[in-house]
Amino acid sequence: MNRFFDIPSDLQHSWLGLIGLHLREALLPVLAGLVLALPLAQLCVRFRWLYPPVLWVTTVFYAIPSLAFFVVLIDYTGQTELTVMIPLAVYSLVVLVPAIVDGVRSVPQETLAAATAMGFGPVRRYAQVQLPIAVPAIIAGLRVATVSSISLVSVGMLIGNQGALGNLLHDAQIYNRPELAWNSVLTTAVLAVLADAALVLVRVLLTPWMPSGGRGRRPKPAADRPEPAAPALKDAAR
């Protein structure tokens, strides 16, 4: 067990240090992707003709192998964390943009009309009505993007030991220590599961009006079941 957590000194990090580095390299790109995807998705909703080309461009970027992406960026950003994080941010767009667009488009027209009647402008209506109702779809996209990003960080080991926990795979071969490979694989899997669970919890906290999905629970009658739009409009009007 001691050898399992005995990290070679050439990595210049402890096991916990590698975990922190791995999370930073994985989560910051997803956050950057979300910041880019929110206004881009709104443009796609407002101008429907823009959605197909945006989706096509993001899909083309996603089809580029990560290693090829790294090699192209090395000339500009060097063998740094940024070289790993830029492709991960771009990859997240192919998941986040459709998720946000679908979530925003799912808002009933009656809800939008009610918000407009209450004096909401386009920006306020998007931020305080459409996005809150679209939270389940956005969180679903974030879950996929986050788990994918956590797994892809390990590829960074091929460009100057920038793969965080993935660097253990490289050292496992150099020092003939298979336990380092198991450490990398298991720790990365646990991080992905914990991150996914955290996002599920965030979704539950942000959407208290959604059903919990528990078995054996009898659904409420339609007349007593609150519409998802109602809490968002009430909160926005405060």
What residue segments make up the domains of the chain, in order of their start? 9-209+225-237
What phi, psi does 108 have (nearest 5°)? -60, 145
- In this prediction, residue 14 carries a pLDDT of 84
Q: How far apart are CA 125 and CA 233, in angstroms?
A: 9
- In this prediction, residue 193 carries a pLDDT of 95
Q: How far apart are CA 204 and CA 29, in angstroms?
A: 24
Does pTM surpass 0.95? no
Structure tokens at 132: 């809150």
For CA atoms 27, 29, 31, 37, the dihedral sign is negative
238 residues of the chain, pLDDT tens digit each: 566 667 777 777 788 888 998 999 999 999 999 999 999 998 998 888 999 999 999 998 888 887 788 888 888 888 888 888 999 999 999 999 999 998 888 888 888 888 788 877 777 887 778 888 888 899 999 999 999 999 988 888 777 666 788 888 888 888 888 888 898 899 999 999 999 999 999 998 887 766 655 444 444 443 444 444 444 444 544 4
Structure tokens at 18: 């590698």
- In this prediction, residue 96 carries a pLDDT of 94
Q: Does domain 9-209+225-237 have CATH number 1.10.3720.10?
A: yes
* Residue reference for tokens 């646990």: 190
Q: How far apart are CA 101 and CA 4, in angstroms?
A: 44
Q: How far apart are CA 101 and CA 136, in angstroms?
A: 12
